[in-house]
Amino acid sequence: MEFDEMKKIWDGQSHQSLYVIDEKALHNRIRSKMNSVRHAASITEWLSIIVYLGAGGILLVLNPFKPGANIFMYLEAAWMFVTVAYLVVSRSRRIKASRRFDRTLHGDLDHAISLAGYKLRLSRIMVWNLLPMGAIMIFSGWEAGKLLKVSVVILISYALAFYVGSKGNRVDKRRRRELQVLKEKLDAGN
C-alpha cells in the first residue's frame, strides 16, 4: 500500500462522533469520585477532631502540674476545643446537607462538587487556624521566658504545615475544578 492510499483511508474516517458517552459508566465514575471526596473529608474531620481533642486535653490535664505554666496554655487548650466544636458542627451540617441531593447523575455530580468545595474550605480553615494557635504559643513562650525558642519552633512548624496544606489545597482545587468542568459540559449538552 502506498502512503497516498493510507492518507485516503485516513481521510475517509467519519467526521461524526466516533464515540458516545456511556451515561451509566459516567454515573458510576461520578459516584466513585463523590465517595472518594466524602471519604477524604471524613478522614480530615476525624483526624483533626482527634488531634485537637487529644492535644487540648493533654494541655489541660498537664498544665497545672507543669512549672512555668501560664494562662496562654489554657487559652491554647480552649482554642483547640473551640476548633473541635467547629469541626463537629461542620461535619453534622455536611451530613445533613448530603440529604438534599438526589441519586441521579446530576444530583451525585452536584453532591461531589459540594463535597469537594467543603473539603477545600475545611483544609484552608485548618491551615489558617494554625496562625492564632501559633500566636498564642508565642505569647506563652514569651510569658515563660522562652520567646525565641518557641517562636523558631512555631515558625518552622507553621511553614511546614502551610506547605503541606497548600499542596493538599491544590489537589482539592483541581478535583473540584474537574468536577465543575464535567458539570458545565453536561449542562451544556442538555
Partner 1 sequence: MTEKEQLDILEEWLRLHKGVIFKVVRAYTVEDYDDLFQEIIIQVWRSVPAFRQEASVSTWLYRISLNTAITWSKKERKHAGAETLDKVEHLLQDNRTQIDPRLTWLYGEIHKLDEIDRSVTLLLLEGFSYKEMSAILGISESNVGVKINRIKKQLIARSKNYDSHGI
Do the Cβ atoms of 73 and 142 come closer than 8 Å? no
For partner 1, the closer of residues 115 and 122 by Cβ is 115
| Stretch binding partner 1 (CB under 8 A), from 18-26, 37-45, 77-85, 133-141 | 18-26
Residue 96 sits in the site that holds partner 1 (CB under 8 A): no
Residues in Cβ contact with 184 at an 8 Å cutoff, skipping those fewer than 6 apart: none
| Stretch binding partner 1 (CB under 8 A), from 4-12, 100-108, 130-138, 140-148 | 4-12
For partner 1, the closer of residues 5 and 65 by Cβ is 5
Residue 39 sits in the site that holds partner 1 (CB under 8 A): no
Residue 21 sits in the site that holds partner 1 (CB under 8 A): yes
| Separation CA 78–CA 58 (nearest Å) | 12
Instruction: Give the one residue of 6, 43, 82, 131 binding partner 1; rule: CB under 8 A.
Output: 6
| Separation CA 137–CA 155 (nearest Å) | 11
Residue 10 sits in the site that holds partner 1 (CB under 8 A): yes
Residue 16 sits in the site that holds partner 1 (CB under 8 A): yes
| Separation CA 56–CA 73 (nearest Å) | 9
Give the Cα-Cα-Cα angle 52, 47, 118 (nearest 5 degrees): 105
Residue 2 sits in the site that holds partner 1 (CB under 8 A): yes
The cell numbers describing 97, all together, are: 446537607
For partner 1, the closer of residues 25 and 99 by Cβ is 25
Of the candidates 169, 139, 167, the one whose C-alpha atom is nearest the C-alpha of residue 154 is 139
For partner 1, the closer of residues 45 and 108 by Cβ is 108
| Stretch binding partner 1 (CB under 8 A), from 8-16, 49-57, 91-99, 115-123 | 8-16
Instruction: Give the one residue of 1, 65, 96, 190 binding partner 1; rule: CB under 8 A.
Output: 1
| Separation CA 108–CA 166 (nearest Å) | 27
Do the Cβ atoms of 30 and 112 come closer than 8 Å? yes
Q: Could you tell me the CA-to-CA distances from 9 to 1, 6, 17, 62, 111 in Å, in that order?
A: 11, 5, 17, 80, 45
Which parts of this chain interact with partner 1 (CB under 8 A)? 1-3, 6-7, 9-22, 25-26, 28-29, 32, 178, 181-182, 184-185, 188
